[in-house]
Amino acid sequence: MAQIGYKYKLRLNWRTKDRLNQWIGANRLLWNLALSQREMIEHKEFKFRETIAGNFSSVNYNYQEKQLKALKDEYPFFKDLPS
């Protein structure tokens, strides 16, 4: 059975293009901040596991979601992003 795919091309004015590029850049920054936070905490927990036998929990979505308010205060352009 053949699969049919469609391509769409958006024709945007310069204001809309600029706005979309701002959103993309802000989302990329948010992703990289969250990723680096997870990597940093996982690295610290790995070091703790080597020395202390304990049960450490990982950073999850709920933990990082609670920190978004403080992040929006630090980076005000995050307030302009759509939910």
> pLDDT for 20-76, tens place per residue?
999 999 999 999 998 998 888 877 765 555 444 455 556 778 888 888 888 888 888
Instruction: Provide the domain limits for residue 24.
Output: 14-80
pLDDT given for residue 53 in this prediction: 46
Distance CA 38, CA 54 (A): 19
Tell me if 1 is assigned to some domain. Answer: no
Give me the DSSP letters along 23-60. Answer: HHHHHHHHHHHHHHHHHHHHHHHHHHHHHS----PPP-
Tell me if 3 is assigned to some domain. Answer: no
Tell me if 5 is assigned to some domain. Answer: no
The number of folded domains in the chain is: 1
